[in-house]
Structure 1
Amino acid sequence: MGEFKAFAVEQYLSELEHGVQYNFSESGVHPMSYAELCDLADIDRDALFATLVDYPQVNGNQLLRERIAALYPKAHADNVLVTVGATEANTLVAATLLEDGDNVIRFSPTYEQLAGNAHNLGFEVRTVDMLPSRAWAIDGDGLTAAVDERTRIIHVVNPNNPTGQVLSDEDREAIIAAARGVGAWIVADEVYSGTERNSDEPTPSFWGNYERVIAINSMSKAYGLPGLRLGWLLAPASLISDFWRRHEYASITATMMSMHLAAAALAPTARDAITARARRLIRRGFDTLQEQLAHHPEVFSVVPPQASAMSFVKFNLPVDSDTFASRLLGEEDVLVIPGSRFGVEGHFRFSSALPDEHLRAGLARMNALTGRILGSA
């Protein structure tokens, strides 16, 4: 075991987010109500409430796993394990795949849940930069230098958290080539597929492009259903039982109700309606964010995210990201995540896929603080 490393982003959220008036720290679209979900997915409320509050099938009920598998080329229900969010899926992957002497490749900035698990289990984690000067493309030379015969996992979040960028075809091929060259697994966190700003086509999965891929997703981000706490991993069928055995230790199962609701939400017609809702919020929200950042064009800039509900905003102020975020919270009741929590200074992560009136009110407060900081500089 290595020295325990706290999950910097989630620690920040769990300590500060509750009770905040303007919470722009989340990474998904504005959550749906149960009533809205029932309407969009045409759920029979009487049948739903007649469901027994019992243990469901531990690996995920058959209908749900079939609907998940249908999202991926040539996948089957036997390739799917339903988990308690993508959180558990990442934890199971680290606990199952890594062996003595292995290392893990992560790209930075990123959501480091899997890398943090690997570190806390005592494994070496190597970092490859994503380059802001190239719209957050990966450092190909850095990837080549980092990978060796002991690389067991190359972990990628695509679309990326916190930048919202989608890997180019060139970067995807570089990752696949690096993995194939040493027999490494690509573990692809794809929770933001379906949140694209400029297209209605979901970001392609790594599944089907290389034989050693584990794809992870959940109902939290593109679907606006984080409270279901339901995710999944997709893997070669020969590996599913290994994950399943550890799943029984970690959580045993997701809930009966979350499985029923997720299966309904993933029916093709319902899924189309739900992801269309997400894209409307994302596109309108980012337009509002850009409009409001333009009040201080000398201060704020952002590489427009290609997907996701969030932006990784760069700022030019005489304070660091922790100080800016702390003052926003203390003086304006506005919560964002400082870039320091992703290892990148001079930035903050901002979620804008929210009701417009609420978003504008919070951004006005951020602009007010920015004006005060500039006035006192």
Structure 2
Amino acid sequence: MFHPFDVEQFLSELEHGVKYNYSESGVHPMTLRELVDLVGLEPDVLWNTMLDYPQVNGSTFLREKISAMYPGTNADNVLVTVGATEANTLIANTLLQPGDSMVAFRPIYEQLTGDARNRGVDVRYVDMEADNGWAIDPEAVMAAVGPTTKLIHVINPNNPTGRVLSNREREGIIAAAASVGAWIVADEVYIGTERDTDEATPSFWGAYDKVMVLNSTSKAYGLPGLRLGWLVGPADAITACWRRHEYASVATSTVSMKLAEAALAEPARTALVERARRLIRTGFETLTEALAVHHNIFTVAPPHASAMSFVRFNLPIDSETLAMRLVREQDVLVIPGSRFHVENHFRFSSALPEAHLKEGLRRLNLVVEDVLKSA
């Protein structure tokens, strides 16, 4: 039985053409000119780039830049992929077989879990509770693993809540994985988007011997159009994913790799992260001011990181109905919590230009007013 990707289906059917789009999960994208100017790339570097097939596993220079972020690795520990999307698919195809099980934490962006379910893998969810700040119970993680558990999947910082794991939660996940010899697959695309600190969220790399980390240029760097991601892991596991990469996509684009080489080199990388944090911090303040207009309607656990918030609402309609009314009546798009299997919430991206953000929030409040009048 095929399981559609609920979040991406919602986006692909509605996001293009909508005027006020708050459904995305990264910071406001950069233009090509903005990126070229920021990194100081001479235009001739692009114009003289040969549009040939690139190095399939990623250019050596790019893989070296990526490996520098992960102590103890070299280029052989890195595979460049077509976004984190392909990285997730390669993980599912490499580490999981029908009849295996895996553990994941919900609410979650259901990409790897959806791939796994479509391969006949039993996905065991450990639910995080809004009333507990979306914390993970280490004892529940240990109880969820068993003899068939091949991996524990964690998105840290989390999508959609923006929560960063505590040391106790990290240690609990590692202990549970070690107890059954499972892999930890850590989606770390939101590292660098910290809202309340300049200290980067620690990677799972190096914390345990069976770790695969994935990341991309999309979220913290504001470059989703490059469609460029990467996997970091033990060299033999990376090679196994590389073999499947040759079936899935052969390689990401030459131009994307060239631009990523420049973006991930210092001082450009730090400048991109600083840009992301500025947008995230000012955007969240604007969001919370707008949500306070209606007393006792909205609550949100402030995200530790990421460009988005998972907002709880107290209205006499469900999240899908609210989202569709926003589209039809105000040309505003948010993702209903039902797409993450959590009702009475919506995911809202606020790391956007201020004027655009304020207008969309004004329109959101107009719909809320109408719902309250009709109640």
TM-score range, shorter chain: over 0.9
TM-score scaled by structure 2?
0.99
The answer for the alignment partner of 1:233 in structure 2 is 231
The answer for the alignment partner of 1:376 in structure 2 is 374
**What is the 5 A alignment of 1:20-169?**
20-169=18-167
Contact 1:130 1:136 in 2 (8 A): yes
| Structure 1 residue 356, shift from structure 2 partner | 0.1
Kindly provide the CA deviation profile for residues 216-243 of structure 1, in whole angstroms up to 9, marking residues without a partner as x: 0000000000000000000101112111
CA distance, structure 2, for counterparts of residue 204 and residue 99 of structure 1: 30
| Structure 1 residue 100, shift from structure 2 partner | 4.2
Identity %: 64
| Structure 1 residue 349, shift from structure 2 partner | 0.1
Structure 2 residue 284 is matched with structure 1 residue 306: no
Task: Kindly tell me the number of residue pairs found equivalent between the two proteins.
Answer: 375
| Unpaired segments ≥5 residues, structure 2 | none
CA distance, structure 2, for counterparts of residue 9 and residue 100 of structure 1: 24
Contact 2:97 2:120 in 1 (8 A): no
Q: Secondary structure at the match of 1:368?
A: helix
The answer for the alignment partner of 2:183 in structure 1 is 185
| Structure 1 residue 39, shift from structure 2 partner | 1.1
Deviates more, 1:314-323 or 1:199-208: 199-208
Kindly provide the CA deviation profile for residues 252-303 of structure 1, in whole angstroms up to 9, marking residues without a partner as x: 0000000000010000200010111111000000000001001013100100
CA distance, structure 1, for counterparts of residue 348 and residue 319 of structure 2: 12
Structure 2 residue 243 is matched with structure 1 residue 245: yes
CA distance, structure 2, for counterparts of residue 239 and residue 83 of structure 1: 14
Q: Secondary structure at the match of 2:128?
A: strand
Q: Secondary structure at the match of 1:18?
A: coil
The answer for the alignment partner of 2:325 in structure 1 is 327
Contact 2:97 2:119 in 1 (8 A): no
CA distance, structure 1, for counterparts of residue 283 and residue 150 of structure 2: 39
The answer for the alignment partner of 1:295 in structure 2 is 293
Kindly provide the CA deviation profile for residues 204-227 of structure 1, in whole angstroms up to 9, marking residues without a partner as x: 100000000000000000000000
Q: Secondary structure at the match of 1:188?
A: strand
CA distance, structure 1, for counterparts of residue 71 and residue 285 of structure 2: 34
Contact 2:5 2:111 in 1 (8 A): yes
The answer for the alignment partner of 2:352 in structure 1 is 354
Q: Secondary structure at the match of 1:137?
A: coil
CA distance, structure 1, for counterparts of residue 265 and residue 42 of structure 2: 14
| Structure 1 residue 5, shift from structure 2 partner | 0.3
Aligned equivalent of 1:204, options 202, 205, 208: 202
| Unpaired segments ≥5 residues, structure 1 | none
Q: Secondary structure at the match of 2:209?
A: coil
CA distance, structure 1, for counterparts of residue 321 and residue 97 of structure 2: 40
The answer for the alignment partner of 1:256 in structure 2 is 254
CA distance, structure 2, for counterparts of residue 133 and residue 72 of structure 1: 34
Contact 1:7 1:113 in 2 (8 A): yes
| Structure 1 residue 40, shift from structure 2 partner | 1.1
Aligned AA (2:357): L
CA distance, structure 2, for counterparts of residue 182 and residue 297 of structure 1: 48
